Amino acid sequence: DRCSPMSTSALLVSTLTKTDIFQNIKQMIRTSAIPFIVTCVVYLLIGIAGQSSFPSLDILQLFTANFVLNWITLLPAVLVILLSFLKINVKSIMIISILAASIICVVVQKMNVLELLQMMVIGYRAKDPQLAGMIDGGGILSMLRVSAIVCISSSYSGIFDGTGLLKKFKKYLDLLSCRLTPFGSTMMISILTGMISCNQTLTIMLTHQLCKDIIKDQNELAITLEDTAVVIAPLIPWSIASVVPIAAISAPTSCILAACYLYLLPIVNLLI
């Protein structure tokens, strides 16, 4: 999600820093290479070690029993990737992908138009309980809460600028940046703002508000936010970025410890 042109966090960062999202994605791929490889190795070793202790689930058979699977169903995802490489406007990519997916739902999956419209509004609901745990969700209604959070969070930026609430704090931040690197300072601020704000959007916005004066280059600021605030927010147990996905899969809060990529990314880039 972090490296996708459809990512809300990536779009937010590019908007705040006034940078090109596709250029940011190139930088994100570069800075995430080592953490990604290390994470894959860790998960591979864990998978091999625990292979005999976990019940097997035939994913292919499960999906085949509920959907018509053929190459044409990959078209919406392929269009997103292809059009992203061509640097087409993100909104246009979304519209084209949605139209392609809608046609496939009706023609290939034999879903009637009423079911399609219902799914768009309230999200998909699988009849198979095993499948439901993996893919249930989505829909316009599911985004209302997130949209409200973004709208409310967006107002804070203007409030802080207008009232000068953060001026004193910025002085201490300047001292911190002298002792640490700009990346290290941003990382520390991300942890603090994430613990206070309890959601990823406000964490990104507050960190940007506080750190925009210590990192003058907007491209550098964008990738620093992507490598700190964006991935640190889900590591905070009471943050919405953590609570929602954990609740969706009915997992314990301790599963955050297994999110290797999220803490390897800022740590590796701090050390390099």
pLDDT tens readout for residues 239-254: 888 887 887 667 888 9
pLDDT more than 90, % of the chain: 47
Contact of 87 with 21, CB cutoff 8 Å: no
- Does residue 124 sit in helix, strand or coil? strand
| Cα–Cα dist 129/108, whole Å | 23
Domain boundaries, the chain: 8-67+109-271
pLDDT at 51 (0 to 100): 63
| Cα–Cα dist 125/196, whole Å | 34
Where does the pLDDT of residue 59 fall: very low under 50, low under 70, confident under 90, or very high at 90 and above? confident
Where does the pLDDT of residue 159 fall: very low under 50, low under 70, confident under 90, or very high at 90 and above? confident
| Cα–Cα dist 56/246, whole Å | 22
| Cα–Cα dist 272/200, whole Å | 25
| Cα–Cα dist 215/226, whole Å | 14
- Does residue 137 sit in helix, strand or coil? strand
- Tell me: pLDDT of 224 over 90: yes
Mean pLDDT of the chain: 87
State pTM to two decimals. Answer: 0.79
